A and B are shown apart, each in its own frame.
Chain A
Amino acid sequence: MRKIQSMISVSNAEFRANEAHNRALAKAFREKQEAARHIRPSRDLERLARAGKMRPRARIEKLLDPGTPFLELSSLAANMAYGGESPSASTIVGIGIVSGREVIVRADDPTIKGGAWYPLSAKKIVRALDIATENRLPVIHLCDSAGGFLQLQSEVFPDRYMAGRIFRDQSILSKMGVKQLALVFGHCTAGGAYIPALSDYNVIVRGSGAVFLGGPPLVRAATGEDVTVEDLGGADMHTSVSGVCDYPAASEDEAIHIGREIVAQWERPRKWECQREPVEAPAYDPQEIYGILPNDVKKQFDMREILARVVDGSRFHEYQPNYGQTLVCGFANIWGFKVGVLANNGVLFNDSSLKGAHFIELCNQNNTPLVFLQNITGYMVGREYERRGITKDGAKMIMAQSCSRVPKFTVMCNGSFGAGNYGMCGRAFDARLLFAWPNHQIGVMGGDQAANTLAEVKLNQMKRNGEAIDQTEIDRVWDETRRAYQEQLSAYYSTSELWDDGIIDPVDTRNALGIAISASLNAPLGESGYGVFRF
Chain B
Amino acid sequence: MDGDAERETAAVTTPTLPFRKILIANRGEIACRIERTLRSLRLGSVAIHHAVEVDARHVREADEAVEITGETPVAAHLDSAQIIEAALRAGADAIHPGYGFLSENAKFAKAVADAGLVFIGPDAETIELMGDKISARNFARSQSVSVAPSAAPTGDIDAFRAAAEAIGFPLLIKAAAGGGGKGMSVVRGANELAEAARVAASEALRSFGDGRIYAETYLERPRHIEVQVVGDGEGRAIHLFERECSVQRRFQKIIEEAPAPNLSAKLREDILTAAVRLAAKGRYRNVGTVEFILGADGRFFFLEMNTRLQVEHPVTEMITGLDLVRIQLEIAAGQGLPLEQEEAVAKGHAIECRICAEDPERDFMPETGAIRYLDAPTASFLRFENALDGGQKVTPDFDPMLAKLVVHGADRAEAIARAIASLHELALLGVKTNIDYLARVLAHPAFRAGDLHTAFVREHSAALAPPPLDAKTRDAALIAAALGLREFRDIAFGVPEPHATIGGWRN
Residues on A facing B (Cβ under 8 Å) = 65-72, 75, 97, 99-100, 102, 264, 279, 335-336, 502, 504-505, 508, 511-512, 514-515, 518
Nearest Cβ distance between residue B501 and chain A, in whole angstroms? Answer: 7
Chain A contacts for B495, CB-based, 8 A: 65, 67-68, 97, 100
Identify which of B496, B497, B502 contacts A511 (C-beta below 8 A): B502
**Can you name the residue of chain A whose Cβ is closest to the Cβ of B501?**
A279
Chain B contacts for A502, CB-based, 8 A: 507
- Verify A100–B506 contact, CB threshold 8 A: no
Kindly state the separation between the CA atoms of A70 and B506 in the bound complex, as whole angstroms.
5
Nearest Cβ distance between residue A272 and chain B, in whole angstroms? Answer: 14
Nearest Cβ distance between residue B500 and chain A, in whole angstroms? Answer: 8
Chain B contacts for A67, CB-based, 8 A: 495, 503-504
- Verify A518–B499 contact, CB threshold 8 A: yes
Kindly state the separation between the CA atoms of A136 and B506 in the bound complex, as whole angstroms.
23
Q: Is the interface of B mostly helix, strand, loop or mixed?
A: loop
Kindly state the separation between the CA atoms of A71 and B505 in the bound complex, as whole angstroms.
8
Supposing A71-B507, A264-B490, A505-B507 touch, asked if A515 and B502 sit within 8 A by C-beta, the answer is yes
Chain B contacts for A504, CB-based, 8 A: 507
Chain B contacts for A72, CB-based, 8 A: 506-507
Supposing A67-B504, A71-B507, A512-B507 touch, asked if A99 and B490 sit within 8 A by C-beta, the answer is yes
- Verify B504–A66 contact, CB threshold 8 A: yes
Residue pairs across A and B with Cβ atoms less than 8 A apart, 13 shown, are A65-B495, A66-B504, A67-B495, A67-B504, A68-B504, A70-B507, A71-B507, A279-B501, A335-B502, A336-B497, A512-B507, A514-B498, A518-B499
- Verify B507–A97 contact, CB threshold 8 A: no
Chain B contacts for A264, CB-based, 8 A: 490
**Can you name the residue of chain A whose Cβ is closest to the Cβ of B507?**
A508
Nearest Cβ distance between residue A60 and chain B, in whole angstroms? Answer: 10
- Verify B505–A100 contact, CB threshold 8 A: no
- Verify B507–A514 contact, CB threshold 8 A: no
Identify which of A65, A70, A518 contacts B498 (C-beta below 8 A): A518
Supposing A66-B491, A99-B490, A100-B490 touch, asked if A279 and B506 sit within 8 A by C-beta, the answer is no
* Of B491, B499, B506, B507, most A-chain CB atoms within 10 Å: B507
**Can you name the residue of chain A whose Cβ is closest to the Cβ of B504?**
A67
- Verify B504–A69 contact, CB threshold 8 A: yes
Chain B contacts for A70, CB-based, 8 A: 505-507
Beta-carbon contacts of B86-117 to A below 8 Å, as 1s and 0s? 00000000000000000000000000000000
Kindly state the separation between the CA atoms of A508 and B491 in the bound complex, as whole angstroms.
25
Kindly state the separation between the CA atoms of A210 and B495 in the bound complex, as whole angstroms.
33
Chain A contacts for B499, CB-based, 8 A: 68-69, 97, 102, 515, 518
Nearest Cβ distance between residue A385 and chain B, in whole angstroms? Answer: 40
Chain A contacts for B467, CB-based, 8 A: none
Kindly state the separation between the CA atoms of A218 and B494 in the bound complex, as whole angstroms.
47
Nearest Cβ distance between residue A443 and chain B, in whole angstroms? Answer: 25
Kindly state the separation between the CA atoms of A279 and B498 in the bound complex, as whole angstroms.
9
Chain A contacts for B490, CB-based, 8 A: 99-100, 264
Nearest Cβ distance between residue A309 and chain B, in whole angstroms? Answer: 17
Residues on B facing A (Cβ under 8 Å) = 490-491, 494-507
Chain A contacts for B506, CB-based, 8 A: 69-70, 72
- Verify B491–A69 contact, CB threshold 8 A: no
Nearest Cβ distance between residue A346 and chain B, in whole angstroms? Answer: 30
Nearest Cβ distance between residue B479 and chain A, in whole angstroms? Answer: 15
Nearest Cβ distance between residue A264 and chain B, in whole angstroms? Answer: 7
Nearest Cβ distance between residue B486 and chain A, in whole angstroms? Answer: 11
Chain A contacts for B505, CB-based, 8 A: 69-70, 511
Chain B contacts for A508, CB-based, 8 A: 507
- Verify B507–A335 contact, CB threshold 8 A: no
Chain A contacts for B501, CB-based, 8 A: 279, 335
- Verify A100–B503 contact, CB threshold 8 A: no
Chain A contacts for B497, CB-based, 8 A: 279, 335-336, 518
* Of B494, B497, B498, B503, most A-chain CB atoms within 10 Å: B498
Nearest Cβ distance between residue B301 and chain A, in whole angstroms? Answer: 67
Kindly state the separation between the CA atoms of A279 and B499 in the bound complex, as whole angstroms.
12
Kindly state the separation between the CA atoms of A67 and B502 in the bound complex, as whole angstroms.
9
In the A-B complex, the 8 residue pairs with the smallest Cβ-Cβ separation, listed nearest first, are A100-B494, A335-B498, A69-B505, A69-B502, A514-B498, A67-B504, A508-B507, A68-B499
Known: A67-B495, A69-B502, A102-B496. 5 other contacts (CB 8 A): A68-B502, A70-B506, A100-B494, A100-B495, A502-B507
**Can you name the residue of chain B whose Cβ is closest to the Cβ of A269?**
B496
Nearest Cβ distance between residue B502 and chain A, in whole angstroms? Answer: 4
Kindly state the separation between the CA atoms of A508 and B505 in the bound complex, as whole angstroms.
9
Chain B contacts for A518, CB-based, 8 A: 496-499
Nearest Cβ distance between residue A76 and chain B, in whole angstroms? Answer: 12
Chain A contacts for B498, CB-based, 8 A: 279, 335-336, 514-515, 518
- Verify A100–B491 contact, CB threshold 8 A: yes
* Of B496, B500, B501, most A-chain CB atoms within 10 Å: B496
Identify which of B494, B503, B507 contacts A99 (C-beta below 8 A): B494
Chain B contacts for A514, CB-based, 8 A: 498, 502
Kindly state the separation between the CA atoms of A99 and B494 in the bound complex, as whole angstroms.
8
Kindly state the separation between the CA atoms of A335 and B496 in the bound complex, as whole angstroms.
13
Nearest Cβ distance between residue A292 and chain B, in whole angstroms? Answer: 20
Nearest Cβ distance between residue A516 and chain B, in whole angstroms? Answer: 11
**Can you name the residue of chain B whose Cβ is closest to the Cβ of A512?**
B507
Nearest Cβ distance between residue B67 and chain A, in whole angstroms? Answer: 46
* Of B499, B503, B504, most A-chain CB atoms within 10 Å: B499
Nearest Cβ distance between residue B419 and chain A, in whole angstroms? Answer: 44
Chain A contacts for B494, CB-based, 8 A: 99-100
- Verify A511–B507 contact, CB threshold 8 A: yes
Kindly state the separation between the CA atoms of A502 and B498 in the bound complex, as whole angstroms.
21
Kindly state the separation between the CA atoms of A505 and B506 in the bound complex, as whole angstroms.
11
**Can you name the residue of chain B whose Cβ is closest to the Cβ of A72?**
B507
Nearest Cβ distance between residue A98 and chain B, in whole angstroms? Answer: 10
**Can you name the residue of chain A whose Cβ is closest to the Cβ of B506?**
A70
Nearest Cβ distance between residue B487 and chain A, in whole angstroms? Answer: 9
Chain B contacts for A335, CB-based, 8 A: 497-498, 501-502
Nearest Cβ distance between residue A445 and chain B, in whole angstroms? Answer: 30
Kindly state the separation between the CA atoms of A264 and B489 in the bound complex, as whole angstroms.
13
Nearest Cβ distance between residue A282 and chain B, in whole angstroms? Answer: 14
Kindly state the separation between the CA atoms of A502 and B507 in the bound complex, as whole angstroms.
10
Chain B contacts for A69, CB-based, 8 A: 499, 502-506
Nearest Cβ distance between residue B433 and chain A, in whole angstroms? Answer: 35
Nearest Cβ distance between residue A67 and chain B, in whole angstroms? Answer: 5
Nearest Cβ distance between residue B28 and chain A, in whole angstroms? Answer: 44
Chain A contacts for B502, CB-based, 8 A: 68-69, 335, 511, 514-515
Kindly state the separation between the CA atoms of A75 and B507 in the bound complex, as whole angstroms.
9
Supposing A514-B502, A518-B498 touch, asked if A65 and B491 sit within 8 A by C-beta, the answer is yes
- Verify A68–B507 contact, CB threshold 8 A: no
Kindly state the separation between the CA atoms of A32 and B497 in the bound complex, as whole angstroms.
31
**Can you name the residue of chain B whose Cβ is closest to the Cβ of A95?**
B499
Nearest Cβ distance between residue B100 and chain A, in whole angstroms? Answer: 51
Chain A contacts for B507, CB-based, 8 A: 70-72, 75, 502, 504-505, 508, 511-512
Kindly state the separation between the CA atoms of A515 and B496 in the bound complex, as whole angstroms.
11
- Verify B504–A100 contact, CB threshold 8 A: no
Kindly state the separation between the CA atoms of A67 and B505 in the bound complex, as whole angstroms.
8
Kindly state the separation between the CA atoms of A72 and B505 in the bound complex, as whole angstroms.
11
Nearest Cβ distance between residue A480 and chain B, in whole angstroms? Answer: 36
Kindly state the separation between the CA atoms of A102 and B490 in the bound complex, as whole angstroms.
15
Kindly state the separation between the CA atoms of A502 and B506 in the bound complex, as whole angstroms.
13
Kindly state the separation between the CA atoms of A102 and B504 in the bound complex, as whole angstroms.
14
Kindly state the separation between the CA atoms of A515 and B503 in the bound complex, as whole angstroms.
11
**Can you name the residue of chain A whose Cβ is closest to the Cβ of B498?**
A335
**Can you name the residue of chain B whose Cβ is closest to the Cβ of A264?**
B490
Nearest Cβ distance between residue A196 and chain B, in whole angstroms? Answer: 26
**Can you name the residue of chain A whose Cβ is closest to the Cβ of B491?**
A65
Kindly state the separation between the CA atoms of A390 and B505 in the bound complex, as whole angstroms.
44
Kindly state the separation between the CA atoms of A508 and B498 in the bound complex, as whole angstroms.
14
Kindly state the separation between the CA atoms of A533 and B206 in the bound complex, as whole angstroms.
104
Kindly state the separation between the CA atoms of A309 and B505 in the bound complex, as whole angstroms.
18
Kindly state the separation between the CA atoms of A126 and B498 in the bound complex, as whole angstroms.
27
Nearest Cβ distance between residue A339 and chain B, in whole angstroms? Answer: 13
Kindly state the separation between the CA atoms of A97 and B490 in the bound complex, as whole angstroms.
13
